[in-house]
Structure formats: structure tokens, C-alpha cells
Amino acid sequence: MENKKIVCIGGGTGLSTMLRGLKIYTQDLTAIVTVSDNGGHSGDLRKEMKILPPGDIRNCLLALAEAEPMLEALFAHRFLEGSLKGYNLGNLLIVGLTDLYGNFGAAIEKAHEVLRVRGQVLPVTTEDVQLKAIYDDGSEIIGECEIVSANKSHKKYIKEMMLMPSKPKVYKNVLEKIEMADIIVLGPGSLYTSIIPNLLVEGVCEALKDAKGKIVYVGNIMTQPGETEGFTLLEHVNVIEQYIGVGMIDKIIANDGWPEAMVIEHYNQDGAELVLPLIEDTRVIAVPMIALNEKTGYVRHDSGLLAKTIMSMESS
């Protein structure tokens, strides 16, 4: 097993999917995860228990876990009925650990021990932050869910993203991990609500500029209604470089495979389109890497192919 230092920055299901593939190649794997989610049951726990949203972090912990199957199953279990219907037991356990150990950071550290996590999962900050979008018409909306909803209904275009409070304090070890990494991966994940929020935390962009390793962006397979409708691959890259600096991304990994027509039609009905690497850019590595979730009908990156592509890129 190679032991390259790899840091993955993002949130959502795309990040945890990628981690499952990468952990085969290295033991020095770090996920830096956004904590600005205010929707779903994670959002409910955030409001009710005054805790940071645990969902994305839990998914990453499970992706890197080497615990007994029963423990993993407990952290992944979702209640199907009663007053807890829809709630994830792992999220509730993180809430309990926060109560026991006094803060969210300590709870995540203890969860590492319980799940025997290979690598590290770090919240980008432990401050209570909210996303704010500033639009091309000068209007502003606060809250991740509210931003996505407004974009879907009014077709607004985001000019800039901010955090409230602005420049929150970065969580311990995050900057050091970025600066010492051999490979830093941005994405895959929602552009404005999973990737960009991490870049708005104090010191993160500066650490990326000082980093010795390659910075790679993993492009999404589909555009996202409410965030990136109509976006090309290059437009995704341009938005990220608006924050970290033009030319900072060394490589762009993009899917060039096509799902079945019925899958495309399913996405098109929701306003989503396939993102293809239709740009002349020497940074682009185009690989067919679509995996279909048979239960949901949605596509995701093939974690094995994506990880293999990232590792082969490092030696090129």
C-alpha cells in the first residue's frame, strides 16, 4: 500500500463515496468537511440540540471505518417509524457524544476511536456558521436550504458566497493537513454548498496556495438544480478559482461516460444535465466512471475508478 498524504475537501455523498475508494491506497487520508448544512434531519438536530450538522461527517466516518460490522450498522441505521422516523442513529450518537465530552470536536475524535477510523475526518470549523449567497441582482439569502430553494424557484445566479460569521476560525490540524498533503482533492459535491463553504473558512485558501501537493478538482457527473443549472465543466472550475486563485487547480478529473437514456431523461425532468469535459484544457483527465444506484435511479462516481484515477495522476 502506498502511503501518500491525501486530503479531500467537500461534503455530501460524493465525498464519502470517494473516500471508500481511496482508503485502499493509503492510510494517510483526511476528509475536511463542511458544516453549513441546515436542512433535513441534520438541520433539525442543529436547531434543536444547538449542535453542528453531523450527517456529512458521519458518512465520512463510516466510509473510513474498520469497526465491527454491528457498530457500523448502528451508525448507519435509520429509523423507519415513530417519532424518530427518518432520523439516523449515528447522528444521534454524535449528539450524545457531544453531550458527554463537551463539544463537537471531542465527539468526532471519540467517534474515530469507536469506529476505528483509518485516517481522519475533520470539520472545517466548529463555529456555528450559516451560508449566505449574494446574487447578480444584489439580493441576498441566508441558509443553505433557503439558497437552493430560491435558486430553483427564481432562477437567480449566484455572484458570491459568504459565511456568517465571516472568516470563522478553522478547526485544529486542518491547515497543516492541507499544507503537507501530496494530493488535495476538491469535490465531488455540490459546488456552492459543499465545496465553496470550506474555502470561506479562515486560512483555508491561503493554505491551498502554500500547499506543496497537487490540487485536483473532481467534476460532478450532473449539474445540480438550484445551484449549477446549465454550467459547463469549465464554469465549475472558474467558480472555485474565483476563491483560491486562477490557475491553482493542477488537474481536473471529469467523467466522459454516458448513462442510459432513461437515466438522462430522469435527470432532465428535474432540470439536471450531464457535465461533459468539452473543453480544450491540458489539465483535464477524462474517464468514464459512472455507477448507477439501482434503488434510486441516480448516478454517482464509481469509487474504485475515481480513486485509481487520482492515484495514477499523482505519479504523472
CA 34 to chain centre: 7
DSSP per-residue string spanning 30-64: EEEE-----SHHHHHHHHHH-----HHHHHHHHHT
Please report the pLDDT score of residue 93 as a whole number. Answer: 96
Domains of the chain, earliest start first: 1-29+171-316 (3.40.50.10680), 35-123 (no CATH)
User: Mapping DSSP to helix (H, G, I), strand (E, B) and coil, where does residue 22 land?
Assistant: helix
Please report the pLDDT score of residue 118 as a whole number. Answer: 94
What is the Cα–Cα distance from 192 to 98, expressed in whole angstroms?
28
Please report the pLDDT score of residue 276 as a whole number. Answer: 86
Please report the pLDDT score of residue 277 as a whole number. Answer: 86
Please report the pLDDT score of residue 2 as a whole number. Answer: 67
Report residue 282: phi and psi, to 5°: -65, -15
Query: Which secondary-structure segment (H or E) carries 101?
Result: helix 89-101
CA dihedral 31, 37, 41, 46 (to 10 degrees): 100
- In terms of Cβ atoms closer than 10 Å to its own Cβ (0-12, 13-18, 19+), residue 265 is exposed
Provide the grid cell at 268. Answer: 432532465
User: Mapping DSSP to helix (H, G, I), strand (E, B) and coil, where does residue 304 land?
Assistant: helix
Nearest to 18 by CA among 254, 268, 302, 260: 302
The mean pLDDT values, 10 residues at a time, for the chain of 316 residues are 89 95 96 95 90 96 93 93 93 96 97 96 98 93 90 80 96 98 97 98 98 97 91 96 97 95 92 88 95 88 97 70
What is the Cα–Cα distance from 241 to 35, expressed in whole angstroms?
21
Taking only the tens place, the pLDDT of each residue in 34-74 is 999 998 888 899 989 999 999 999 999 999 999 888 899 99
